[in-house]
Structure 1
Amino acid sequence: MLGTSKDIKNPGLRTLPPGVERFFVKGGGLSVIEISPEDKIEIINEEGKQICEIVVFNSKGKSDLSILNLKQNANADFSKKVIASDEKISKLFKKKNLNLSKAKSSIIFNEDCLMGEKIVLSSKDKCFVLIAAPGNPQNVHEQNPPTDLTIFINRANFSETDEQFVLPTPLNDPILEQLVKRKTAETYEVKAGEYIQIIDPGGRQCSDFLAFDTHKLNDGVESIIDDKATRTFMGSAYPGPGLFSKFYDGNHEAMVEVIRDTVGRHDTFNLACTSKYYEDLGYMGHINCTDNFNKGLEKYDINARKSWSAINLFFNTSIDANNVATFDEPWSRPGDYVLFRALKDLTCVSSACPCDVDAANGWNPTDIFVRTYS
């Protein structure tokens, strides 16, 4: 959890009461959730006829179903198979010291259970709970797909402040962890193949992103992500995970690709905020992303500019039916993020946008957090 340097009162529009968290277990998948003493776990069988496999690990990483008052009736075969097939997940289990090889499981529900059937479990101690929705291989002549489970966690002890400012668990061992304080910008470098995770800890906060080709920059050439080239080649307002995921420079060379995006609402049409934008509104001398970028990039001998064509992450813009460019508060919730993979050695800069005169940052700028991974 992270308290930003300038807390906002309403970081996101919660649909759940304080202390309640919702998770989804996709059919054929699994989720691992950290549980505290006296927390209640409600598992809902949304479509019915879906079994649920539960494995519980105590604070020492050993299998212990008694924490949830469950009895062993299976050997966690599905969970073991899924985790063994994914090297990254296996490494995470080892890092958390969770011993799955000797784990036992409890199967709840059955193949005849009704739609909406649910069970509520109460925890006696701190633990990690693995919840899986097992499925069999699909045959073309059968209609037997695994279906989703919905999980509600009712926390016995919680802080509304902690829920407002969230740093998600690192995806791996970070190379860099950089707090970008509100109304500032920070530079950092990544190698080709490394990952960049740009996190909005408080919700509703824009972060402008620039990336330069480091090798060309060392030769005095400023090759940067080009928004027009990107939109043209991707055929969309901005890339997203999947086939059309890459950002390009003006030489039509891919710079980064989007691996994961928990928001799905960004902007590539507008400039990073400039002094002129605020002056036109009557705010002379207002701090802005362009000046912050220029200051941060001085050490790379990058020429200062009046404006930068940045990737405006979390900026909620659109073009309405009258061809008018509009924007509103960001969709990002506390802890939302975008994960890029660098396709070249890059010199990057990320801002925590200082705009406090409109809805771009929910009327009150907060911090951004950056992690990089190998």
Structure 2
Amino acid sequence: MTALSYPEPVTVPARQARSVLLRTGDRVRITDVAGGQVGDVFAYNADDITEYHSAAHTRTHTSRLFPTLGEAFVTNRRRPILTYLDDTSPGTHDMLIAACDPERYAAYGDPGHASCAENLALAMAGHGYPALPHIPQPINVFMRIPVGADGDLSWFAAPTRPGDAITFRAEMDCLVVVSSCPQDHNVINGAGPSPLTLTVLPATTEEKIR
């Protein structure tokens, strides 16, 4: 894994994705610039992309629908990949809803619409992976999909305010892709898709050797 420097925040334009490479102990802060924007987060082992964050394995690991602060997201090999380190948002996130994809927008009668699945594929192609075998279940930061007592899911606008942020710590060298969700056929992105930013905070010496 090549060491990279991110002296400035990386802007994720509305409806697009950007990626960052993290070394173990590095942190990435995802900020909702305008408020009300969902981000689809994907995390891969930087040395072997057949290992990636798994929502199902994480739910098994934590016995929760979403980790609480200090808990880890784990991979399909049950190893920690990211830790939920800090959160200035209302703390409402999701790991049940699949990434939007071309098929979903075709069903809306909107073929050619941008999607998180395609955004992920484009980002990974830029890292030399032109054909992903499948699209993992993302960590849907800032997404508000409450589960009712009867098991029904509700779709609400993201409750974030401008500048709200969530921070993850890398527990292995990893490639993190974040898509500023382009969904505009329902209310999850409020008035419509808007940008996110990614700020990489390098690991301290203690974090590198822990």
Common topology (TM > 0.5): yes
Match for residue 344 of structure 1?
Answer: 172
Question: TM-score, normalised on structure 1?
Answer: 0.50
1:271 Cα offset (Å): 1.1
Match for residue 330 of structure 1?
Answer: 158
Q: Which amino acid aligns with 2:24?
A: A
Match for residue 212 of structure 1?
Answer: 44
Residue-by-residue CA offset, 1:27-67 (whole Å, 9 max, x unaligned)? xxxxxxxxxxxxxxxxxxxxxxxxxxxxxxxxxxxxxxxxx
1:298 Cα offset (Å): 0.6
CA–CA distance in structure 2, aligned partners of residues 227 and 357 of structure 1: 25
CA–CA distance in structure 2, aligned partners of residues 193 and 296 of structure 1: 23
Residue 295, structure 1, aligned to residue 113, structure 2: no
Residue 234, structure 1, aligned to residue 62, structure 2: yes
Match for residue 200 of structure 2?
Answer: 372
CA–CA distance in structure 2, aligned partners of residues 355 and 278 of structure 1: 9
Residue-by-residue CA offset, 1:251-290 (whole Å, 9 max, x unaligned)? 1100010111122100101111111211222222211111
Q: Which amino acid aligns with 2:32?
A: D
Matched residue SS, 2:145: strand
Residue 185, structure 1, aligned to residue 17, structure 2: yes
Which of the numbers 126, 132, 144 marks the counterpart of 1:304?
A: 132
Match for residue 205 of structure 2?
Answer: none
1:305 Cα offset (Å): 5.2
CA–CA distance in structure 1, aligned partners of residues 141 and 156 of structure 2: 13
1:177 Cα offset (Å): 1.5
Which of the numbers 240, 252, 256 marks the counterpart of 2:78?
A: 252
1:307 Cα offset (Å): 3.7
CA contact (8 A) 2:54 2:136 kept: no
Matched residue SS, 2:188: helix
Q: Which amino acid aligns with 1:275?
A: P
Identity of aligned residues (%): 24
CA–CA distance in structure 2, aligned partners of residues 174 and 331 of structure 1: 28
CA contact (8 A) 1:290 1:305 kept: no
Instruction: For 1:189-204, list aligned pairs within 5 A.
Output: 189-204=21-36
- Residue 306 to residue 276, structure 1, CA distance change in 2 (3 Å): farther
Structure number, greater radius of gyration: 1
CA RMSD of aligned residues (A): 1.7
The answer for unaligned runs of 5 or more in structure 1 is: 1-172
Aligned length: 196
CA–CA distance in structure 2, aligned partners of residues 282 and 201 of structure 1: 30
CA–CA distance in structure 1, aligned partners of residues 114 and 167 of structure 2: 27
1:184 Cα offset (Å): 0.4
CA–CA distance in structure 2, aligned partners of residues 328 and 344 of structure 1: 33
Match for residue 224 of structure 1?
Answer: 52
Matched residue SS, 2:125: helix
CA contact (8 A) 1:190 1:347 kept: yes
CA contact (8 A) 1:176 1:373 kept: no
The answer for unaligned runs of 5 or more in structure 2 is: 203-210
Instruction: For 1:1-374, list aligned pairs within 5 A.
Output: 175-217=7-49, 222-242=50-70, 245-263=71-89, 264-302=91-129, 303-304=131-132, 307-374=135-202
CA–CA distance in structure 1, aligned partners of residues 113 and 84 of structure 2: 32
Match for residue 57 of structure 1?
Answer: none
Q: Which has the higher contact order (CA 8 A, sep 6+)?
A: 2
Question: TM-score, normalised on structure 2?
Answer: 0.88
